[in-house]
């Protein structure tokens, strides 16, 4: 931050920044663009299906995948040498820390067993049920009888439209992830 030319310093006073970079609408785009500029020269390519995923195939037939969400990354690899390269090159430009095993990412929980990995969204579903106060509901095979018709009564609606739309959005997100 640079002070304006007309600014005259006053003793024991400081300037406050009204908008930090992370609050600007362009900052995620700028950060991701900068990350892409680092990854492409390292022979990573962006996935056509998901532009937040970078893929690298090495000459030895090894594979490294990087998935980015905001400022978090998941690195899946079978190439131990690539792990060191990722610590050095992007690590020089971005603040990075090495977390050994993934436990939670976005709304996905990861559990490690001897036979493999289990991923679930149990915690997110529990959060949704708690939010709509349905945590102690009984499970019903078919929640409504077939061919049920509702009466059109526009003046008397006890449905909170905003809450319904938020819940529907969260359920769609749950289904897509």
Rounded to 10 deg, the angle between the 27-39 and 80-93 helix axes is 130
Sheet holding 117-120, edge to edge: 104-105, 108-112, 117-120
Q: Is the pLDDT of residue 23 over 60?
A: no
| CA atoms within 13 Å, Cβ hemisphere of 138 | 4
Q: Is 64 helix (H, G, I), strand (E, B) or coil?
A: strand
Q: Are 53 and 59 in contact (CB under 8 A)?
A: no
Question: How far apart (Å, rounded) are the C-alpha atoms in residues 24 and 32?
Answer: 14
State which residues form the domain around 29. 23-100
What would the pLDDT profile of 83-132 be if each residue is shown by its tens digit?
778 877 776 777 777 667 888 888 889 999 999 889 999 999 998 888 88
Residues 65, 76 contacting (CB under 8 angstroms)? yes
Q: Is residue 111 part of a domain?
A: yes
Identify whether 143 is part of a domain: no
Q: What pLDDT sits at residue 118?
A: 92
Rounded average pLDDT over 46-52? 88
39 and 82 within one domain: yes
- What is the Cα–Cα distance from 72 to 96, expressed in whole angstroms? 9
- On whether both 36 and 91 belong to a single domain, the answer is yes
Q: Identify whether 132 is part of a domain.
A: yes
| Number of folded domains that form the chain | 2
Q: Give one DSSP letter per residue of 1-28, joined into a string.
A: ----TT----TT-----SS-GGGSTTHH
Place of tokens 């899946």: 76
- Size of the chain in residues: 177
- The answer on 76 and 32 residing in a single domain is yes
Task: Kindly state whether residues 87 and 42 are assigned to the same domain.
Answer: yes
Per-residue model confidence (pLDDT) at position 101: 81
pLDDT at 61: 87
Work out the percent of the chain whose per-residue pLDDT is above 70. Answer: 81
Model-level pTM?
Answer: 0.59
- CA dihedral (166, 126, 68, 94) positive or negative: positive
Summarised one tens digit per residue, pLDDT across range 58-96 is: 888 889 998 888 777 888 888 778 877 887 777 677 777
């Amino acid at each position: 931050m640079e002070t304006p030319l007309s600014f005259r310093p006053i003793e024991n006073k400081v300037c406050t920044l009204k908008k930090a970079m992370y609050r600007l609408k362009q900052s995620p785009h700028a950060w991701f663009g900068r990350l892409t500029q680092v990854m492409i020269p390292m022979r990573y390519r962006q996935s056509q299906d998901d532009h937040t995923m970078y893929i690298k195939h090495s000459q030895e037939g090894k594979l490294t995948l990087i998935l980015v969400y905001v400022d978090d990354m998941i690195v899946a690899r079978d190439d131990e040498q690539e792990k060191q390269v990722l610590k050095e090159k992007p690590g020089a430009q971005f603040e990075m820390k090495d977390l050994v095993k993934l436990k939670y990412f976005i709304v996905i929980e990861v559990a490690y067993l001897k036979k493999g990995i289990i991923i679930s969204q149990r915690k997110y579903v529990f959060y949704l049920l708690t939010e709509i106060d349905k945590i102690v509901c009984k499970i019903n095979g078919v929640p409504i009888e077939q061919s049920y018709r509702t009466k059109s009564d526009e003046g008397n609606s006890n449905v909170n439209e905003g809450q319904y739309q938020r819940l529907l959005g969260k359920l769609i997100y749950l289904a897509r992830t």
